[in-house]
C-alpha cells in the first residue's frame, strides 16, 4: 500500500500524541504512588514547650561577673556538651589543641579595638566571658563549603557535625576565635560524659550552639542558668523581652562591631 | 604455534584462580542474620513505623530525622499510628533497641556496612 504524505503525517501525529499521553499517564501514576506511599518528613514538628524567638541574643552583665561564675558557666556548658578537656588529660602542652565553647578572657583580648587611649579606671580589669557571638551576618556560614555551619531562622548559628569535613575555613573566617577544631579524638578526654548529647570525632569543628537542644525543650542555655543573673538571654526582636529592657537601660558594647558581622552578644561595662 | 599447550594450561590456571571465590563459596552462603529484639522492643510490638518499612527504610528515616532535628529544629515525630516520638537516636531508638550488638550490628556486619553513628552518638552499653 502506498501512503500519501498526508496519511503519513496523520499517523505520525497520532503516534506522537499517544506517546505523550502515555508518558503523562505514567507520570501521574508515579506521582500518586508517591503520595499514597509513606513520605517521611511530613510528620515532623516542634515541641510545644520549645522557646521561640525571631533572633536570640545574650547580654553579659560584667558588673555581676566574677572568676568563679565564669568558671561555673564553663564547667556546666562543657560538661553538658561533652567538650573534651585535653589539658587535664594530656597536660599543658595540649593547650594548642584546647576546645572551648565558652571561656573567660581578658578585656583587652575580647575588645581589641582600643578606641580610648585613656579608658575608665579598672575597665580593663573587668572579667569578660566570651563565646560564639551568633552574628547576624556570620562570616563562618559564608565560608563553609558544605553548609555544615548555617544560620537558623531564630538567629542561632548552628553546626551540623554530620556535614563538617574539617576544612577549618570557618575558623579562619571567624574574627572572634569562637571555633575549635578536634585535632585528636575527643572521647578519651571527656570526663563524666553526658549520654544525652553526642560527642564529636576527630576532624570536626565545634562551637557554642546557644543550647539549641535545651531551647527545644523549653530550657534556657546552661551558661545562663549557671550565671547567677550575669547573663540574660532573650529575643532581640521583641521590645518587651528582658534582654531588650536591659539593653535599653544600660550602655552596652559588642566585640569588633567595626567588622559588620553584627554580633548578638552584648556586654554591659 | 608450538606453545598451544602452554597457553591453554595457562588459561585454565588463570580462570581457576580467577573464579576461585565463586566456586569455593558455592552453596556455603553465610546464614542470614537474625536480629534479636530486646524485651522492651518486643513489648512495644511496633517501632515508629511498621516493621516492613523500618526494615527497608530505617536508614532513610534516620537521615531524615537527623536533618530535621539538626537543621530545621523539629524534634518531634508522629508516626503513621499517631504516636509521637522524640527525634533522637540515642534517646528514642536505643531506648528500646538497647541491644546494639544483637540488633544493629548483626545485619550491619552481614551486609558489611559500617554506619558511623557511634563515632559520636552514645549507645547504652557505652554509657559511663
CA dist B34 → A41, A205, B55, B56, B60 (Å): 29, 38, 12, 15, 21
Number of CB atoms found within 10 A of residue B83's CB: 11
Burial of A71-93, coded b for 16+ CB within 10 Å and e otherwise, reads ebbbbbbbbbbbbbbbeeeeeee
Residue B70, min C-alpha distance to chain A (Å)? 6
More confident residue, B84 or A83: A83
> What is the DSSP code (8-state) at residue A62?
T
Ramachandran sector of residue B87 (left: φ over 0; alpha: ψ -120 to 50; beta: rest):
beta
Q: Please give the pLDDT value at position A33.
A: 45
Instruction: Tell whether domain A56-268 is in CATH 3.30.70.20.
Output: yes
Which of A22, A31, A8, A61 has the alpha carbon at shortest distance from A251?
A: A61
Between CA A1 and CA B71 the distance in angstroms is: 67
* Grid cell locating A51: 522557646
For chain A, the residues whose C-beta falls within 8 A of a C-beta of chain B are: 38, 40-41, 43-47, 50, 150, 152, 154, 158, 160-162, 192-193, 195-196, 198-201, 212, 216-217
Q: Please give the pLDDT value at position A29.
A: 53
Contact (Cβ atoms closer than 8 angstroms) between residue A236 and residue A262: no
Contact (Cβ atoms closer than 8 angstroms) between residue A219 and residue A233: no
| Residue A59, phi then psi, degrees to nearest 5 | -115, 130
pTM over 0.90: no
Q: Give A46's contacts in chain B (Cβ within 8 Å).
A: 73-76
pLDDT surpassing 70 at residue B127 = no
Q: Please give the pLDDT value at position B126.
A: 58
Q: What is the ipTM for the molecules in this complex?
A: 0.75
Q: Please give the pLDDT value at position A136.
A: 96
- With CB atoms and an 8 Å threshold, state whether A199 touches B122: yes
* Residue in A with minimal Cα distance to B48: A40
Is B64's Cβ below 8 Å from some Cβ in A?
A: yes
Q: Please give the pLDDT value at position A196.
A: 87
Contact (Cβ atoms closer than 8 angstroms) between residue B126 and residue A199: no
Q: Please give the pLDDT value at position B33.
A: 84
Burial of A13-49, coded b for 16+ CB within 10 Å and e otherwise, reads eeeeeeeeeeeeeeeeeeeeeeeeeeebbebbeebee
**E-strand spans in B1-126?**
76-78, 84-86
Q: Please give the pLDDT value at position A36.
A: 42
Contact (Cβ atoms closer than 8 angstroms) between residue A221 and residue A57: no
Residue A262 CB burial class (10 angstroms; 0-12, 13-18, ≥19): middle
* Grid cell locating A199: 560527642
- With CB atoms and an 8 Å threshold, state whether B127 touches A195: yes
Contact (Cβ atoms closer than 8 angstroms) between residue A127 and residue A66: yes
What is the residue-averaged pLDDT of chain B? 87
- Per-residue confidence of chain A (269 residues) as pLDDT tens digits? 677 888 889 888 898 888 777 777 665 555 544 444 444 445 777 777 888 999 999 999 999 999 999 999 999 999 999 999 999 999 999 899 999 999 999 998 999 887 788 888 888 888 999 999 999 999 999 999 999 999 999 999 999 999 999 999 999 999 999 999 999 999 999 998 898 899 999 999 999 999 999 999 999 999 999 999 999 999 999 999 999 999 999 999 999 999 999 999 999 98
Q: Please give the pLDDT value at position B1.
A: 66
Beta bridge partners of A59: A232, A266
- pLDDT (tens digit, 9 = 90+) per residue, B23-35? 888 877 778 888 8
Is B59's Cβ below 8 Å from some Cβ in A?
A: no
CA dist A96 → A93, A161, B53 (Å): 7, 22, 48
**E-strand spans in chain A?**
44-45, 56-61, 102-105, 128-131, 149-151, 157-159, 180-181, 205-206, 231-235, 252-253, 265-268
- pLDDT (tens digit, 9 = 90+) per residue, B33-79? 888 888 888 888 888 888 899 999 999 999 999 999 999 888 888 88
Q: Please give the pLDDT value at position A19.
A: 79
Parse chain A into domains and list their residue ranges. Answer: 1-38, 56-268
CA dist B36 → B100, B109, B128 (Å): 9, 14, 24
Amino acid at each position: 500500500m502506498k501512503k500519501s504524505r498526508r496519511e503519513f503525517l496523520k499517523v505520525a501525529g497520532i503516534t506522537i500524541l499517544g506517546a505523550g499521553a502515555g508518558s503523562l499517564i505514567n507520570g501521574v501514576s508515579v506521582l500518586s504512588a508517591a503520595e499514597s506511599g509513606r513520605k517521611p518528613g511530613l510528620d515532623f514538628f516542634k515541641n510545644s514547650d520549645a522557646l521561640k524567638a525571631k533572633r536570640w541574643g545574650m547580654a553579659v552583665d560584667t558588673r555581676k561577673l566574677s572568676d568563679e561564675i565564669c568558671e561555673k558557666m564553663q564547667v556546666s556548658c562543657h560538661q553538658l556538651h561533652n567538650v573534651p578537656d585535653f589539658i587535664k588529660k594530656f597536660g599543658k602542652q595540649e593547650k594548642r589543641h584546647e576546645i572551648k565553647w565558652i571561656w573567660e578572657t581578658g578585656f583587652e583580648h575580647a575588645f581589641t579595638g582600643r578606641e580610648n587611649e585613656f579608658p575608665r579606671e579598672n575597665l580593663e580589669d573587668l572579667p569578660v566571658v566570651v563565646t560564639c557571638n551568633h552574628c547576624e551576618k556570620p562570616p563562618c556560614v559564608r565560608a563553609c563549603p558544605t553548609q555544615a555551619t548555617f544560620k537558623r531562622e531564630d538567629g542561632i548559628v548552628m553546626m551540623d557535625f554530620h556535614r563538617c569535613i574539617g576544612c577549618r575555613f570557618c575558623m579562619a573566617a571567624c574574627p572572634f576565635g569562637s571555633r575549635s577544631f578536634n585535632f585528636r579524638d575527643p572521647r578519651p578526654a571527656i570526663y563524666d560524659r553526658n549520654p544525652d548529647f553526642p560527642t564529636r570525632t576527630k576532624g570536626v569543628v565545634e562551637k557554642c550552639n546557644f543550647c539549641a537542644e535545651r531551647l527545644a525543650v523549653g530550657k534556657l542555655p546552661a551558661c545562663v542558668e549557671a550565671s547567677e543573673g550575669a547573663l540574660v538571654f532573650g529575643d532581640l526582636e521583641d521590645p518587651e523581652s528582658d534582654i531588650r529592657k536591659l539593653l535599653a537601660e544600660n550602655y552596652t558594647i559588642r566585640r569588633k562591631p567595626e567588622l559588620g558581622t553584627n554580633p548578638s552578644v552584648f556586654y554591659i561595662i | 604455534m608450538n606453545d598451544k599447550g602452554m597457553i591453554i594450561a595457562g588459561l585454565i590456571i588463570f580462570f581457576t584462580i580467577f573464579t576461585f571465590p565463586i566456586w569455593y563459596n558455592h552453596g556455603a552462603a553465610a546464614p542470614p542474620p537474625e536480629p534479636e529484639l530486646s524485651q522492651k522492643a518486643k513489648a512495644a510490638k511496633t517501632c515508629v513505623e511498621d516493621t516492613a518499612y523500618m526494615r527497608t527504610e530505617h536508614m532513610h528515616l534516620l537521615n531524615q530525622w537527623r536533618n530535621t532535628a539538626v537543621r530545621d529544629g523539629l524534634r518531634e515525630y508522629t508516626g503513621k499510628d499517631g504516636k509521637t516520638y522524640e527525634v533522637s537516636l540515642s534517646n528514642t531508638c536505643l531506648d528500646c533497641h538497647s541491644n546494639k550488638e544483637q540488633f544493629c550490628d548483626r545485619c550491619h556486619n552481614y551486609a558489611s556496612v559500617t554506619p558511623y553513628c557511634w563515632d559520636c552518638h552514645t549507645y547504652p552499653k557505652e554509657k559511663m
